[in-house]
Amino acid sequence: MKFRAIRADKTDAGQDVRFVEMEDSELMDGDVTVRVTHSTVNYKDGLALSGKSAIIRRFPMVLGIDLAGVVETSAGTDFAPGDEVIVNGFGLSETHFGGYAEKARVKGDWLVRLPAGLTRAEAMAIGTAGYTAMLAVMAIERHGLTPASGPALVTGAAGGVGSTAVSLLADKGWTVIASTGRSSEAEYLKGLGASEIIERASLSAPGKPLGKEQWAAAVDSVGSQTLANVLAQTRYGGAVAACGLAGGIDLPATVAPFILRAVTLIGIDSVQCPMARRLEAWRRLASDLDREKLAAMTQTIPFNEAFEAGRRILKGETRGRLVVAIE
């Protein structure tokens, strides 16, 4: 049976990324075949869809770093036909065919069973961005920080990681400061639970090695000068979870916050995150994430609008999360 997919092929000119028809026989090795019903557009998907990034490490490649669907066949795994499953990362869209396809064949070890209380569409409304936000919140908690420690800052707040982090932290009782470049999203961010909105520009210009102590914790989607300034304004003993690079991959920082204020910089990786921590993150998302807020931060698009959504996310024009309805 033929199925539709967005595939990147290597050409002399670079990459050719487009909709194609594929056959089951073209799927990569794996022990579980999944009928994909939903995927998402994350920032990384935007990069891959652009046909200009180094995300894809093997050609041809089916794009899409997230998928949710229903198991069709399974060999030697705990999963059975009809089971509802999620995959985030594990090389999807990099080294293994991903979720922008009506069908996927993956390793059983990569599958997360759809948590009770979440629909497949909701799981993809969360997607890699939301699950990364939860990994960041869990890292801050592991550091021993609580709402009593002081406020939490979220940068890139109106994006996917940012919106989910604002919602999760606010509902856990944190006073959330949301940094955004879009003042038009202030009401949206307050609706998710932000107490204070600050201008992205206040963090993006070169700053001092140490600034006034402001927040006890931070979830940063932006990187670069913003992350350096976030560290410089973190309170004594605080922690910053570095998730992203929407503002750049560099980190023009000094060691001052680490050696003078005992600040901790915590790296967050969603792609190879061990299964036990993934399961904990998804369990927490299913129990903690407010469904009305999730709906408020989510837009669902048809499969054929994925390219346009990819262009918009790279320009910072999308709000919250984008679900791609594959079927």
Name the residue with tokens 């801050």. Answer: 140
Select from 92, 106, 152, 246 the one that contacts ligand NDP (CB under 6 A): 246
- The reply on whether position 235 binds ligand NDP by CB under 6 A is no
Which residues contact residue 115 at a Cβ distance below 8 angstroms, ignoring those fewer than 6 apart?
123, 282, 283, 285, 286
Select from 15, 146, 316, 325 the one that contacts ligand NDP (CB under 6 A): 316
Q: Are 193 and 162 in contact (CB under 8 A)?
A: no
Cβ at position 219, least distance to ligand NDP in Å: 10
Phi-psi region of 173 (alpha: psi -120 to 50; beta: other; left: phi over 0): left
Site string for ligand NDP, 108-137 (x = CB under 6 A): --------------------xx--x-----
- The reply on whether position 245 binds ligand NDP by CB under 6 A is yes
List strand residue ranges (DSSP E) for 260-320, in order: 264-267, 298-302
Distances (CA, A) of 315 to 44, 47, 50, 106, 127: 13, 11, 12, 31, 20
Select from 138, 271, 301, 325 the one that contacts ligand NDP (CB under 6 A): 271
Q: Are 232 and 261 in contact (CB under 8 A)?
A: no
What residues from 4 to 43 belong to the interface with ligand NDP (CB under 6 A)?
Answer: 42-43
Select from 159, 207, 238, 310 the one that contacts ligand NDP (CB under 6 A): 159
Select from 106, 118, 157, 289 the one that contacts ligand NDP (CB under 6 A): 157
Buried b (16+ CB within 10 A) or exposed e, 2-22: ebbbbbbeeeeeebebeebeb
- The reply on whether position 181 binds ligand NDP by CB under 6 A is yes
Residue nearest to ligand NDP (CB): 159
* Contacting positions for ligand NDP (CB under 6 A): 42-44, 128-129, 132, 156-162, 180-182, 200, 204, 221-222, 226, 243-247, 268-271, 313, 316, 318
